[in-house]
A and B are shown apart, each in its own frame.
Chain A
């Protein structure tokens, strides 16, 4: 039995059920987890929070047998202790049999199978000859779901249910087994307020039963409402662990983002220069963009030559806003106006024609084609404009590619080097070049400097500055608070899919940003809609 982590002395809690100490997990080239300490006690609801890339998902996957932890460097570390003894879960099934249930962020059920079959897969009630007793199964499934406030025909395929109801089926499945630990990975991201209330009821019931609940969410309100303790992860390590009541919101946000409030800094740590002209007419206006569960009435304006920062926590709707503007996420309502003309929403070609280019967050999955050359990658989007009668004008492409390789200082052996061989920073520049070749009016940059080294970061920051100086409107999304503050002329702060504050001029400070993010919800807030950045 390991000693508990120490900073937790509340008497109500039971013994440590599941804990890790000095846990690390490396993927090729990435330290996803680097010496994490984490302990979940019986009868507590333990919040696990952190920004994108902090390692929450990896930790959960290690705890549930999806990933194996790295072998320990020193004895006694890097192991999972469950119920007093060291364990090694080799499969999710092994973890489940041991009593660890998980509800994943994406509903992980089989849509074509009936609700009851999903609920009981692997533990169907069986009668004579080992055959499944469907009558009993349907009755029990119906009862279990009714307890959670869901009334459905359990014989119908699961896919006919709404996402919220599907999530409740997953919940019913998780609590049905006699779990000692229930892990919930952003369970509320697709629930209606009423369903959230039911979920919290179930969580409290589990706690009363002595189950350890590990709760992952980005919604601060939820954390304070339902959790007892909190562990904050940042960059793969646990930076804080303790009762959540002892931590105010501002402090929590500071821990997550790794920034101290009131920590005065000199300007000039990043490579951004000063402010840009912010008097002109907006080149782009987003008006009341609404996407069910993700955005509610987001409005913002970008003027030519201006860098507008988009601040907020993971899941606040930053990426969704950019995607909605760029046509990659069809909004339920709202308008996008570029240079005075409305752009058809939900269509990337329409947005690109209007002069809006999005540099996506995940450049590997959504951007570069690693097998193609620098030249081909740059020319990809601009091809229609660079060809005549369906034939590509090679000479013009060469000129365009040459121009941008010079201007963006892309370091490659030549235009024909494969992009996959370049460094992260140079890959990012190639992507930038691709969109600049389209002569955009507005650039939407989603985490443009994530995962690239310090030198390249400074280069990209300088480029963003130059582009704004050249009259482009830039929307900058960054989890790096410093980068956001220094790079932006204005910062629009999002929370739960809505704009909560807009910082201009002298108000663009880290302090103000953190306070805006941490602010308690306004009374008018409609909790129905909230963001859902992927982790």
Chain B
């Protein structure tokens, strides 16, 4: 846009410099820590684990970590969009399990059904979540909590109270989506990487992505600037449902069965990963790559605790919880320094 009329605007001799308020040295440092702190920590954690345990950097172990990270990462991808709009989605753990069972059941009718059925069902639940949150202005926490309980209920219903387990034919194409390898790296990892690239492009470079940031940054201003607030919110919850369903389907392909007990607590893991990755829980600020780093960091910590062996795996959660607390405190502190919060 230009203002190119023979303009009566007087040529401005002095200009307003927009700099002085921000960008002091300590603020820049804080900004760096907020954006890349998780990555630095991840590198340090990997190096430490590598030096400490011979079994850490083996092909088996790293592949295992990569594949098991992939499913959480896909869930965290959708969650990142939700959290940037200032919302939260507690239903993803249940949708993950539901997606897995639906995929395993559907796999008997072919790969297309195995993939599309969980996407349709979980996407629809996410869409309803979004409608309730955006149009009826209900709290995301409550709406998605209800969806979390409801989806568990559907899960129990389709599996006869969890007594029925659907298996995936090991030789089907669907199973290779979970079990197959390309260049020695598991198929779920490739799919996840692809999704993250696409997600990052959408968030950074599409108009929808701008709306996501605007809604989370200042909802009223976004509305006054003409951003479609309700549509954007509906879209992010739908996206989150789709991601959770797809992650569940891939996981079922990997396990070659639909396991009903999976996914409990996964929503909190996903939220942790997103927050550790530098996305603000209050919305308006965050990035996709950080969530991936957050997932990897959580998985490396889990893996290290497993390596120690003598430590009860229950301590995994203590460590993850403690770590999350540290990150949130650091983030708040850094945010205040930068006067973002």
Interface residues of A (CB under 8 A from B): 66, 91-93, 96-97, 102, 104, 108-113, 115, 117-118, 121-122, 124, 126, 130-132, 134, 140, 143-144, 146-153, 156-157, 159-162, 164-165, 168, 173, 175-176, 192, 194-195, 197-198, 201-202, 204-205, 208-209
Contacts and interface: CB of A to CB of B under 8 A. Distances in A.
> For the complex, would chain B's binding face be called helix, strand, loop or mixed by DSSP majority?
loop
A112 B222 contact: no
A204 B201 CA distance: 41
Interface string B1-27: 111010111101011111111110000
A153 B2 CA distance: 18
Interface centre among B2, B16, B214, B224 (most CB of A within 10 A): B16
A124 B225 CA distance: 13
30 contacts: A66-B224, A91-B223, A92-B226, A93-B227, A93-B228, A104-B224, A109-B225, A110-B221, A110-B284, A112-B217, A113-B210, A113-B217, A121-B210, A121-B222, A122-B210, A131-B206, A132-B205, A134-B205, A144-B2, A148-B9, A148-B12, A149-B12, A151-B16, A156-B18, A159-B340, A160-B18, A161-B18, A161-B21, A204-B8, A205-B5
A126 B17 CA distance: 28
A208 B18 contact: no
A153 B206 contact: no
A110 B217 contact: yes
Contacts of A113: 210, 213-214, 217, 284
B287 interface: no
B220 interface: yes
Interface of B: 1-3, 5, 7-10, 12, 14-23, 201, 205-207, 210-211, 213-214, 217-218, 220-228, 284-285, 339-340
B10 A108 contact: no
Given A110-B213, A152-B17, A201 B8 contact: yes
A162 B225 contact: no
Contact of A149 (B15, B20, B23, B206): B15
A281 B210 CA distance: 62
Contacts of B217: 110-113
A219 B12 CA distance: 24
B265 to A, nearest CB: 30
Contact of B22 (A93, A143, A159, A202): A159
B305 to A, nearest CB: 36
Given A131-B205, A201-B8, A201-B10, A92 B223 contact: yes
A165 B214 CA distance: 19
- Smallest CB-CB A-B distances: 5 pairs: A160-B22, A152-B18, A149-B12, A110-B217, A201-B9
Given A144-B2, A176-B1, A112 B9 contact: no
A121 B12 CA distance: 26
B21 A160 contact: yes
Contact of B16 (A117, A121, A156, A165): A165
A100 to B, nearest CB: 11
A112 B285 contact: yes
A109 B218 contact: yes
Nearest to A126: B207
A131 B14 contact: no
Contact of A195 (B16, B223, B224): B16
A173 B18 contact: no
A112 B213 contact: yes
A157 B217 CA distance: 11
Contacts of A147: 2-3, 7, 9
Contacts of B206: 130-132
Given A148-B9, A198-B9, 4 more contacts: A110-B217, A130-B207, A159-B340, A192-B16
Contacts of B2: 140, 143-144, 147
A183 to B, nearest CB: 12
Given A126-B207, A131-B205, A202 B18 contact: no
Contacts of B213: 110, 112-113, 117
B22 A151 contact: no
Interface centre among B1, B21, B207, B285 (most CB of A within 10 A): B1
A156 B214 CA distance: 15
A164 to B, nearest CB: 6
Contacts of B9: 147-148, 198, 201-202, 204-205
Given A112-B213, A152-B19, A160-B21, A208 B218 contact: no
B207 A124 contact: yes
Contacts of B10: 197-198, 201
B18 A165 contact: yes
Contacts of B285: 112
